[in-house]
Amino acid sequence: MEDDVKDAKTFGLKTLPFYRFAANQAWCTAVALAADLLAHLRLLTLDHHEQLRKATPGRIRQALLHVPARLVRRARKRLLRLPDDHPHTGDLILAWTRVRQLSHSLSPP
């Protein structure tokens, strides 16, 4: 539970940026939504990796979003070329594959 509170503070619950109650209430709702999305990301896509399953938002951002990549076009498709030697390339590919599988299983036939 303490880790969840730390994550919520990372997302912006540390300070309320507005003077009005309704705006701060919307801010808290956005923070709760971000924390919920992080929990589902960990549960559904990162459960294979011991360290990323319990990682902080900053660690996940560093590991999965700071992978050097190139966006290329080929045969009217956009491809994302990832380096083979980066330590988290496989984790990023596996997480993306699981997200795609989940989105295809939720779409109507």
* pLDDT tens profile 72-90: 999 988 888 888 888 888 8
Structure tokens at 49: 């990796």
pLDDT at 1 over 70: no
Least confident span in 2-6, 34-38, 57-61, 96-100:
2-6
pLDDT value, residue 57: 85
Q: What angle do CA 106, 107, 109 make, to 5 degrees?
A: 120
**Residue 108 gets which letter from DSSP?**
-
Closest-CA residue to 12 (of 25, 36, 30) = 30
* Whole-prediction pTM: 0.71
* pLDDT tens profile 21-76: 999 999 999 999 988 888 888 888 888 888 888 888 888 888 877 888 888 999 98
